[in-house]
Structure 1
Amino acid sequence: MTAAQADLQAEFLELPGDVRIDRPEVSDGAALWRLAKDSEALDLNSSYSYLLWCRDFAGTSAVARTGDGRPVGFVTAYLRPDRPRTLLVWQVAVDAAHRGHGLAARMLDALMARVRSEHGVTGMETTITPGNTASERLFTSFATRHGARLERDVLFEARQFPDGPHDPEVLYRIGLPAATTAATA
């Protein structure tokens, strides 16, 4: 990790108030499910899947929690099996009371700093439905902050979804600068 990355990680790990960012635990699964449900924007997965996520993908995910341990935000992600240096971000959610303070960006930056250091990650992917302005801004600003290139392509067309009307899913592919990733690989 470069000095600049360490500074960025420290800045985003030391949040105002009593909020801190760390790895999720199985005991966080129910709270993550509720945060996703309350977001009214995310595709809600089964509660079982959030429990599994906290068990099997804790190393590539992040949770923001208050001083008393209550989760108020999360990022779920995994390393792509066929591209293990690419982090696929599955969902990002922040409790309504904690929105508007940059918590989603801070979780994303802290998570990326951790997985770059631990796994040599060189890129990030996510999918966003057209019109999801908050997610578009989150990932576009991430790329800008990190001096990364950003490519967008439709990954799944609306007609490919078997369960009724669904917007297309646009793949955001963020490639981190080589000079930065070489120091962490």
Structure 2
Amino acid sequence: MTSETSRAEAIELRQPKDTDGYRLHRLIAECPPLDPNSIYCNLLQCTHFAETGVAAELDGELVGFISAYIPPIKPETVFVWQVAVHEKARGTGLGKRMLRFVAQRQACRNVRFMDTTITEDNAASWGLFMSFARELAAETQKETFFDGDVHFGGHHDSEILLRIGPFDVNAH
């Protein structure tokens, strides 16, 4: 067994809880280029959106997190807002494990699509989500969701919407 394998097996995935909010804030700060949010927003991610999120711990430290939600107007879609994987957990397959964990949550039982937004230059995120789509044998679609000039006043790159699906996560 390699050290990467044993490290991956030691990472526990669970539903987020209210005491994860500040820890999530610190984790995101250590995972550039992720956009930081307020601690209050992180607390909401860990409470209001807990049933569609995942926290990953290694030796009691938060090393991974996905915040996601089901948009009220798209009940068959889970929108992945943010994926954070600390450098201590990179190379273990944690990102894909967390995506699968989210998609298999009871709250996502009717989900057949996964949406996320990614900037064009974020190769790690593109790699993660495209690999997840291949694993599910699911189609992908891309389109500009938030334009850098129109929506961000030229202060942020455009966010490209990636849609994966339809899929049945339990069939793979």
Per-residue CA distance 1:123-143 (angstroms, 9 max, x = gap): 000000011000000110010
Q: Are 2:140 and 1:150 equivalent residues in the alignment?
A: yes
Residue 162 of structure 1 deviates from its aligned partner by: 4.2
The 1:175/1:100 distance shift into structure 2, 3 A limit, reads same
Residue 66 of structure 1 deviates from its aligned partner by: 2.2
Map 1:42-61 to 2 at 5 A: 42-61=34-53
Map 1:166-177 to 2 at 5 A: 166-177=156-167
Counterpart CA distance in 2 for 1:92 and 1:148 is 20
Question: In 2, are the aligned partners of 1:62 and 1:74 still within 8 Å (CA)?
Answer: yes
1:166 aligns to what SS in structure 2?
A: coil
Counterpart CA distance in 2 for 1:93 and 1:19 is 14
Report how many aligned residue pairs link the two structures: 166
- Partner residue in 2 for 1:75: 66
Counterpart CA distance in 1 for 2:45 and 2:162 is 22
Question: In 2, are the aligned partners of 1:78 and 1:87 still within 8 Å (CA)?
Answer: yes
Residue 17 of structure 1 deviates from its aligned partner by: 4.0
Per-residue CA distance 1:105-158 (angstroms, 9 max, x = gap): 111111112257x53111000000011000000110010000111000111111
- Partner residue in 2 for 1:160: 150
Q: How much identity, in percent, do the aligned residues show? A: 39
TM norm structure 2: 0.89
- Partner residue in 1 for 2:97: 106
Counterpart CA distance in 2 for 1:39 and 1:15 is 19
Q: Are 2:11 and 1:28 equivalent residues in the alignment?
A: no
State the Cα RMSD in Å. Answer: 2.1
TM norm structure 1: 0.83
Q: 5+ unaligned residues in a row in structure 2: which ranges?
A: 1-5
The 1:44/1:145 distance shift into structure 2, 3 A limit, reads same
Residue 15 of structure 1 deviates from its aligned partner by: 7.4
Task: Letter of the 1:61 partner, please give it.
Answer: G
2:143 aligns to what SS in structure 1?
A: strand
Per-residue CA distance 1:57-97 (angstroms, 9 max, x = gap): 000000111243x2110000000110011000000001111
The 1:63/1:182 distance shift into structure 2, 3 A limit, reads closer
Moved over 6 A (4+): none
